[in-house]
A and B are shown apart, each in its own frame.
Chain A
């Protein structure tokens, strides 16, 4: 007997069954074929896989008979010589062959050490039929997600806040607390987007006005805070709830941010709504009984007539009063000027205008020149706008016309006296002065205009002086002259005050009304007297403008004309130059001061 083959198999309950087959040969075949001495029912084993030959020296020669080799003590080979006495392990497919010697007989124990198929091995059936085997556990995911979110969106931003709390300025970079921003800042504040602490200076404390005024230094209160409080309409139910909640959560009343809300999205800051004004002003006289301000709730339906500030008495300084346009106020500017004559298309003025190249007739813009911003008009300048026709020339010396000095009556007197003192050829000179072209009717080509004197005794300076200041004279036509007592030369002309802004409580921007002609609002062509205010009334404005919620061509909230923080400038409207760079770091520095 040379070989003893022991084949081990197992019952379903795991019990071992050992079958032993002795073979008295020197050569045995290992394979899947049933005729093999060592028959391995293993699909990874060839039908005739290997041959074992017992050599004379007692060693075993193992040779693979087909392409697939085998393993000897864990290493793959196709041929091996082994010493059975030393023991060895051969691996064929899923089977392990343990070789040993017992009483001179080579004992080969064959056993399947791997399962027959994937499905026959022990499996967690519940695991297979649920997602537990292929998904991370829900508990793990819940913990992981929660921790990630809390770290990234709570711990990190809070760390950022305390990290920079005493810093002058945050470096320009991403800062985690910006993940808390509920919406983009308005364009003027866009530069503060990554620096939450420029406004949110303290944790759990509402944004205070000190943050705002650190940059907006010039902003002042709308009115005396006490009167402001009195004027406020009683809160309705939701306002009361809102107030109560705000008080409970320590949000003080009347802060800038109540009206100037932020984080409402990029773009211009939110326009202040009409209701913000009308809640007090609609019936303010009920609560603020001594107020001089008329009630106003809506431009289209509840707004008083305009009250321009007009000069009621021309003095020094002039007396100005706000009078409703309904009372047809007259302005005592000190100037005599008939608009109708100057704008006529048929009279001598038109004729003179034509000769000077002004077209068919004079137009408003020929005298009224806009300010550079287009909002208002520059004051009329006599030399520039009037003197071309209303000449003060008295004498021509060579090519130069000598003129009386405008605005200086004493110099006029002195110049005229000097003129007469200069002497002859007296007749020629006075004729030139007194008989030159005076008015548009007496136009003569290529001759300059001269100041006119009316009726005059040409031989005497006194007479000429009196004439120029009296009716028919050059000064008198436009100005109010204060006549001196007889024998005195102290002629005086009342000062002219030109008003550049009549609507002192509101704001009117001519540039915004470019689409209109002057005459669509100002009835200058029918005005024969400079004291007539040519301002349009509210009715004219209402042809285009209505209240905020109206169907008018231009729905207009109060803020279009009125400024809450009123000053001499234009009211705040959301169209100021958003691109201009401001030194926003200043805000930080100021805030640090406030904090410490």
Chain B
């Protein structure tokens, strides 16, 4: 899945694509791996008494490296708003961001010395891990979902999705004019409802249990089944329009679900980064305060 993301990069001078993961032949993957291995080997070789913890000289070293990496990683928020090319292109920066971020899993975990508890120190660690894991989630959805999304969209744009929905609503409105009130109400409930309403959970799960369009369509199908009408029966027309609206809604909702999944990681990644920096401030100050 990483491969997909890697392919969707800038076109290089030799004509091949190179994504941020693959940047410069995995330069930052190599650097981050070396850093992690170095930390791990040092951890195993250096004898800290009575056991490894964040408060030994080795612990402080790892902690200092960790906090510097975290601060640098968070600068991507500023960096991405400024374009530049070459060595420190945004792609290089992103590549480093990803791999150095992953190396923090090793560096910070060793910094803890596996001593965790209900305190400010572990809070900072847990926040960092959530930020990293949300980033991993982000990369994986960026790698997989666009393909699913374009298959779902099938050449339609978002504007077209909404336009066709509006069009079908107008047609429904017109077609329902001759209907008696009971049937007209069904159509009206479909027209009045916000078909994409509800919170993040409904959108991510793509479950719209109270969808009036679906209910109206189902009911009209039942009615038509019991009183089959002719070709000119307005109910027939309304039924088929509701069926079309249902299909448009299904596609649009799927699209919304995929977009939500593409986006949601940033709602963890970014705010929790700031929460992490706040927790790090508390963590570091507390260590020196009760020195």
Where the two chains meet, the residues of A that have a C-beta atom closer than 8 Å to any C-beta of B are: 32-34, 41, 43-44, 46-47, 66-68, 116-120, 123, 125, 128-131, 134-135, 138, 141-147, 149-150, 153-154, 157-158, 161, 177, 179-184, 196, 200, 203-207, 238, 241-242, 245-246, 249-251, 261, 264-265, 270-271, 273, 275-276
**B282/A182 in contact, CB under 8 A:** no
Partner of B200, one of A131, A145, A184, A207: A131
The contact string, 1 if C-beta is below 8 Å from chain A, for chain B 234-273, is: 0000000000000000000001100110011011001111
**A180/B278 in contact, CB under 8 A:** no
Partner of A183, one of B117, B188, B279: B117
**B176/A43 in contact, CB under 8 A:** yes
B121 contacts partner chain A, Cβ-Cβ < 8 Å: yes
B158 contacts partner chain A, Cβ-Cβ < 8 Å: yes
Give the A-B pair count, Cβ closer than 8 A.
Answer: 187
Within the complex, the shortest CB–CB distance from A435 to chain B, in Å, comes to 73
B192 contacts partner chain A, Cβ-Cβ < 8 Å: yes
Closest A residue to B49 using CB positions: A273
**B290/A43 in contact, CB under 8 A:** no
**A47/B181 in contact, CB under 8 A:** yes
Partner of B185, one of A43, A118, A181, A250: A43
Contacts A154-B285, A203-B289 hold; do A238 and B275 have CB atoms under 8 A apart?
A: no
Within the complex, the shortest CB–CB distance from A31 to chain B, in Å, comes to 10
Residue among A131, A179, A207 with the most chain B CB within 10 A?
A: A131
CA distance A377 to B189 in the complex (A): 97
Within the complex, the shortest CB–CB distance from B20 to chain A, in Å, comes to 22
Partner of A150, one of B178, B198, B282: B282
Partner of A275, one of B49, B170, B185, B188: B49
**B57/A146 in contact, CB under 8 A:** no
Within the complex, the shortest CB–CB distance from B187 to chain A, in Å, comes to 6
Which residues of A lie under 8 Å from residue B267 when comparing CB positions?
A: 131, 135, 138, 141
**A182/B55 in contact, CB under 8 A:** yes
Interface locus among B5-13, B134-142, B159-167 = B159-167
**B194/A118 in contact, CB under 8 A:** yes
Within the complex, the shortest CB–CB distance from A9 to chain B, in Å, comes to 13
**B277/A264 in contact, CB under 8 A:** no
**B180/A47 in contact, CB under 8 A:** yes
Closest B residue to A265 using CB positions: B115
Partner of A44, one of B49, B169, B188, B281: B188
CA distance A196 to B291 in the complex (A): 11
CA distance A264 to B114 in the complex (A): 11
Residue among A117, A128, A138, A157 with the most chain B CB within 10 A?
A: A117
CA distance A205 to B259 in the complex (A): 52
Which residues of B lie under 8 Å from residue A120 when comparing CB positions?
A: 166, 169-170
**A180/B266 in contact, CB under 8 A:** no
CA distance A570 to B64 in the complex (A): 43
Within the complex, the shortest CB–CB distance from B131 to chain A, in Å, comes to 12
Contacts A119-B162, A154-B281, A242-B57 hold; do A205 and B291 have CB atoms under 8 A apart?
A: yes
The contact string, 1 if C-beta is below 8 Å from chain A, for chain B 67-96, is: 000000000000000000000000000000
Contact residues, B52-68 vs A (CB, 8 A):
53-58, 60
B286 contacts partner chain A, Cβ-Cβ < 8 Å: yes
Closest B residue to A203 using CB positions: B289
Within the complex, the shortest CB–CB distance from B137 to chain A, in Å, comes to 15
Contacts A130-B263, A154-B281, A273-B49 hold; do A142 and B169 have CB atoms under 8 A apart?
A: no
**A146/B275 in contact, CB under 8 A:** yes
**B270/A142 in contact, CB under 8 A:** yes
Closest A residue to B291 using CB positions: A206
B150 contacts partner chain A, Cβ-Cβ < 8 Å: no
CA distance A273 to B50 in the complex (A): 7
